[in-house]
Structure 1
Amino acid sequence: MLIFVLQTLAEILAGGTSLTSTEQIDFSHPSNRREEGAGPTLNLYIYDIRESKQFQQAGRQVERSIGRHLQAGIVNWAPVWFDVSLLLTAWDRTTLGEHHFLSEALTILMRHRALKEEFLVPELRGHGSLPMMVGLHPSIEPGTLWSGLGVPLRSALYLTLTVPLSAEPTTTPLVWERIFDLRNQMYGNGTNEIMTRRVVIGGVVKSATTNLPLLATKVTLLKTQKFMESNKEGLFFFENLQIGNYVLNLNCPGYLSQNVNALVDEQSYTFKEIFLTPE
């Protein structure tokens, strides 16, 4: 997110000032002086990031609503909006040269009081225009800010850009396999059997009245195409799932249907012991 903010502002500044390219815009700490003879440079430095409480309450696109990824059954949240505060300074051989570049920067930025979506880099699109405040007092008191930076007070522009941050569904890692051992009493011969399965969600279905396993219980993973029937030990399992919340639907002849929640994370497998009630 921060890289995309800097990239957007750099492209706007390079295109609207007398700078010839984004190579003349630096993002390092303001105390890193440019080398003598390096030519005019604008410095963009992010000094504060905080959740935008005011914008969260403003209305558009900021309600914390639940969206569902229908194919994977994953719960996603709406983006959280952040105020990213930047310090814009100019470096040139003379003070007049620095003021000239700051004036150009101020003129071009004042035309973009809200960054229209067509000016944004692709990674920041999809949320409409992004609010930007130019020339206001910084979120940190100026004396404290410059003292904290360890740089003498100098002419600067203070920018605050409000941007969304949301998890990308495409980057959600797949949980391919988990290993667990099931030691089940084999009814009739009194021996133990150890079964090993590579799974993400697994479980055993039993009768609530007899505590015996239920064979051929259809277990469906809602919002997906996955389903299976429990074996003679009442066991079932699902493989190759994305991280998220899932709902299992269990149907067995002669028993009441039941839904059960299951969580898939990166730390452990999910094993369910489920008891069905006779009709």
Structure 2
Amino acid sequence: MLISVLQTLAEILAGGTSLTSTEQIDFSHPGNRREQGVGPTLNLYIYDIRESKQYQQAGRQVERNITRHQQPGTVNWAPNWFDVSLLLTAWDRTTLGEHHFLSEALTVLLRHQPLEEEFLVPELRGYGSLPMMLGIQPPLELGGIWSALNVPLRLALYLTISVPLDRQPTITPLVWERIFDLQSTAGKYGGNQVMARRVVIAGSVKSATTNLSLLTAKVTLQGTTKFTESKKEGLFFFENLERGNYVLNINCPGYLPKNVNALVDDSYIFREIFLTPE
């Protein structure tokens, strides 16, 4: 993600300023800049990354294929969005040269605000244009930034770009409906009768420290006699429940017990539950 952001900006700046190539853009700490006299250079330095407040964070979509046998489901996660903040400085033989060089960079970046998808490197495409805030008050205090960098305060541009981080789809045996074949005794010729039971609460139990699935964790519906145990991939499920609010009590040897709320309505509830070791 970070390399893709730097690559996109470098290609835009190299193509719209007096730079002759991306080799004149340095990504190292500003305090490690090249010695003066080697020619004009732009320095792009990432100094802050934090979750974006503009975008809804990760959720999941479950793709299921219902057949006469239980089939794995694919869990597709919506991307997490992060605000990546960068410091853009210009270095040249003279102060006027640096000001001119930085003005060129400001002009070309304003033309690309927001970052349109066609100018993004392939790794960042598929989400439309990416918001780029330019010349705004940075998320960190100015003096604090330069003090932490141990570099004297100098003229700079402050950029913040909202970037998606996409998690890979995972395969897990999630179930929407379980299909049972029942041998029918009715009718002259017999035959098979199919009964479908709707799964309304399902989930997986995992260790909070290792992220590994926990088997034989006991999951009980509080206030009822219904319970089950997590199986392969930590999967558990409850079928054909009445609408309403439920509390899941999860107990597993070696881990602290946990309660999780679940609302049963017309939708399907999936819970990924993490237990903390004792």
Matches within 5 A, 1:89-238: 89-169=89-169, 172=170
- Aligned equivalents of 1:16, 1:97: Cα separation in 2: 17
1:7 equivalent in structure 2: 7
Structural mapping, 1:17-96, within 5 Å: 17-53=17-53, 55-56=54-55, 62=56, 66-70=60-64, 72-96=72-96
What's the counterpart of residue 226 of structure 1? none
Gaps spanning 5+ residues in structure 2: where? Answer: 66-71, 184-193, 216-230, 240-278
2 CA distance for matches of 1:262 and 1:64? 17
- Aligned residues of 1:133 and 1:161 also touching (Cα < 8 A): yes
Q: Is the 8 A contact 2:203 2:236 kept in 1?
A: no
RMSD of the TM alignment (CA)? 3.0
**TM-score, scaled relative to structure 2:** 0.63
SS in 2 for 1:115: coil
Conserved 8 A contact 1:245-1:263: no
Aligned residue-pair number = 198
Shift of 1:46: 0.6
Residue 246 of structure 1: SS of its match in structure 2? Answer: coil
Offset at 1:249? Answer: 2.1
Is the 8 Å Cα contact of residues 133 and 160 (structure 2) preserved in structure 1?
yes
State the SS of the aligned residue for 1:130: coil
Q: What's the secondary structure of 1:39's corresponding residue?
A: coil
| Equivalent in 174, 178, 181 of residue 249 of structure 1 | 178
What's the % identity of the aligned pairs?
64
CA contact (8 A) 1:250 1:259 kept: no
Spell out, residue by residue over 1:144-195, the C-alpha distance to the aligned partner (whole angstroms, 9 max, x if none).
Answer: 11111111101100001111112133xx5xxxxxxxxxxxxxxxxxxxxxxx
Moved more, 89-98 or 251-260: 251-260
Q: Give distance in 2, aligned partners of 1:18 and 1:117.
A: 24
Q: Which amino acid is 2:30 matched to? A: P
Contact preservation (8 Å) 1:245, 1:264 = no
| Shift in Å, 1:259 | 6.2
Letter in 2 for 1:101: F
Q: Report the alpha carbon displacement of residue 263 of structure 1 after superposing the two structures with TM.
A: 4.4
Instruction: Provide the residue aligned with 1:229 in structure 2.
Output: none
Cα distance in 2 for residues equivalent to 1:115 and 1:106: 14
Equivalents in 1 of 2:14, 2:205: separation in Å? Answer: 46
Q: Give the Cα separation in 2 of the matches to 1:63 and 1:83.
A: 12
- Specify the structure having the higher radius of gyration (Cα): 1
- Give how far 1:76 is off: 2.2
The residue identity in structure 2 corresponding to 1:246 is: L
Q: Which runs of 4+ in 1 moved over 4 A?
A: 62-65, 254-266, 271-274
Q: Determine the C-alpha separation between the residues in 2 that align with 1:6 and 1:65.
A: 27
